[in-house]
Amino acid sequence: MCGRVRRAFKYRFYPTDEQAAELSKTFGCVRKVYNLALEARTEAWDQRRERIGYIGTSAMLTAWKRTEELAFLNEVSSVPLQQALRHLQAAFSSFWAKRARYPRFKSRKKSRESAEYTRSAFRWRDGSLVLAKMSEPLNIRWSRPLPMNVTPSTVTVSRDGAGRWFVSLLCEDPAVQPLPPSGRAVGIDVGLDHLLTLSDGEKVANPRHERGGRLALRRAQRALHRKQKGSNNRAKAQLKVGRVHARIADRRADHLHKITTRLVRENQTLVIEDLAVAGMVSNRHLARAIADAGWRRFRELLDYKAAWYGRTVIAVDRWLPSSKLCSACGALAKTMPLQVRVWTCGCGATHDRDVNAARNILAAGLAVAVCGAGVRPQRSTPGGQSAVKQKALRREP
């Protein structure tokens, strides 16, 4: 890894009534501009097969501000509005590259409320942050220090479903440097009974944060549905539901951050399965459990932390029959029922199902690293399903 790492530092802050009103107005304008630009680009393509880019939507924004109907867009900083158009352009680029689906309209009730400010729209001085259209600095709770002698390049302000306000400062962090080389390599098998099983035999329990907060969530949602739509009491009940969700999400994120940081610090090479999480959550029996486990977020954290600290992440093919291969002799079992957690190979080796899978994942990943070997030859396996798909069919205990 070369050059300094750009890292976001997120803090909670407590706005004044005037600041909250200004930011709420900005969130609404950002959402409006994004939706207008998406509508314009979609209609241009559907009706005239014309592709409009960022420059075209930026010119549209100028015209919209001059109309009587959209004159309120002039009341907020123009920078977050321009950034919304850039985000839309990035969303279309991902769609054209087949990395994401077609951009969707932002919902007032469901979409994340946020606004991004570049350097021309905020003033940073000695730990004091003043945003455009505001006269007072934000009251930020500095839970951890920023790197010394750095100035944020962008500032993103957001509000979550629990009514909490956050500010994210994007800075260069000179403290993030590659770790000393380590000769250790580990294979990682993810699951639901145990969140992770490592090739060295370690098993990381699945905390099931959503299950632990399910009773509180059920009560809060029932109270919400008893309130009259549009009433103040319903708004208060909605905040209570949001707080339960936020508490669950915070616990899950904290757990995943601690696990991934430890794995990256201890191992030079980390081998995982290339899971098709989007397809697996389509199973209605397991969607809640898989989402609660956070497999996708685990992969994201592992990838960027490995890039920060000079580690290597290898993703082996999802069709590798890791559970049915003997890690001692390489024999492939014809069948492996899901209820079988310990099995004995014909060579005499006795395997824990998950540990054996992690060891096979490690071996396949090291083969790829050493000689570029593929792991697809055994895609068609007896029974017609990979170990990953078998896990997706297993009901949560």
Name the phi and psi angles at 170, rounded to 5: -90, 115
203 is written with which tokens? 């098993």
- Rounded Cα–Cα distance for residues 3 and 15 (Å): 35
Cα dist. 228→110, 223, 235, 237, 238 in Å?
Answer: 19, 11, 10, 11, 12
Neighbours of 266 (CB within 10 A): 13
Q: Would you call 354 a catalytic residue per the annotation? A: yes
Look up residue 325 and give its DSSP letter.
B
Catalytic residue among 22, 116, 160, 354: 354
Scanning the structure block, which residue is given the tokens 């739509």? 229
168 is written with which tokens? 């994210």
- Rounded Cα–Cα distance for residues 361 and 388 (Å): 12
277 is written with which tokens? 């999480």
For every residue of 206-223, DSSP letters joined together read: ---HHHHTHHHHHHHHHH
Catalytic residue among 22, 160, 273, 292: 273
- Rounded Cα–Cα distance for residues 315 and 135 (Å): 50
**Residue 216: which residues within 8 A CB-CB, separation 6 or more?**
244
Catalytic residue among 113, 189, 210, 292: 189
Kindly list the strands in the beta sheet with 5-13, ordered across the sheet, starting from the edge strand earlier in the chain: 113-118, 154-159, 165-173, 5-13, 140-141
End-to-end CA distance of the chain: 42
3-state secondary structure 270-288: EEEECCCHHHHCCCCCCHH
Contact 93, 103 (CB under 8 A): no
Q: Would you call 189 a catalytic residue per the annotation? A: yes
Q: C-alpha angle with apex 280: 270 to 215, nearest 5 degrees?
A: 100
- Which residue, among 94, 71, 83, 140, has the nearest Cα to 116 in the 3D structure? 83
Q: C-alpha angle with apex 264: 258 to 265, nearest 5 degrees?
A: 90
Residues noted as catalytic: 189, 273, 354
